[in-house]
Amino acid sequence: MKTRYIIGGIIIVVFLLVAVFSLVNTDIEYSDFSKARELDGKKIQIKGQWVREKGSEYNSEKNEFIFYLKDENNEIAKVIFSGSKPNNFEIASHVVAIGKYKDGIFYSSEILTKCPSKYEGQKYTP
């Protein structure tokens, strides 16, 4: 009977260690392009705005969406996203690109868009 408790305790400890290890490894920090260059190869998130003047393009042969993003420090970088353009990309107020910075280009594996909220109140002027 005591052997069961020891084996059960070991299994619980192993599962707890695996859970803690996977939570630590999924921590992706917000950054900007200058810090992304320093963390060459580390997966990060960059919040910014699409530079509309530079446009965007979708390469169907490579399944890549290419655009330029301006971070919160007004630095602009080319972003190559492995996938198609998000549906609400044009109306997004902010874009979060998740990926890695390499050779002057941010290679994104995921894009999140924040659209203007229809629930934000308008200024009241009496």
Instruction: Calculate what percentage of the chain has a pLDDT beyond 70.
Output: 84
All structural domains of the chain: 28-114 (2.40.50.140)
Q: Is 79 exposed, middle or buried (0-12, 13-18, 19+ CB in 10 A)?
A: buried
52-79 pLDDT per residue, tens: 899 889 888 989 999 999 988 899 999 9
33-53 pLDDT per residue, tens: 888 778 767 888 889 999 989
- How far, CA to CA in Å, does 7 sit from each of 3, 4, 16, 39, 73? 6, 5, 14, 42, 54
Please report the pLDDT score of residue 117 as a whole number: 64
Please report the pLDDT score of residue 24 as a whole number: 59
Please report the pLDDT score of residue 85 as a whole number: 85
24 versus 39: which is more confidently predicted? Answer: 39
Please give the mean pLDDT across all residues of the chain.
Answer: 82
Q: Does pTM top 0.75 for this prediction?
A: no
Please report the pLDDT score of residue 78 as a whole number: 92
- Model confidence at 80, in pLDDT bands (50, 70, 90)? very high
- Model confidence at 121, in pLDDT bands (50, 70, 90)? low
The amino acid at 25: N
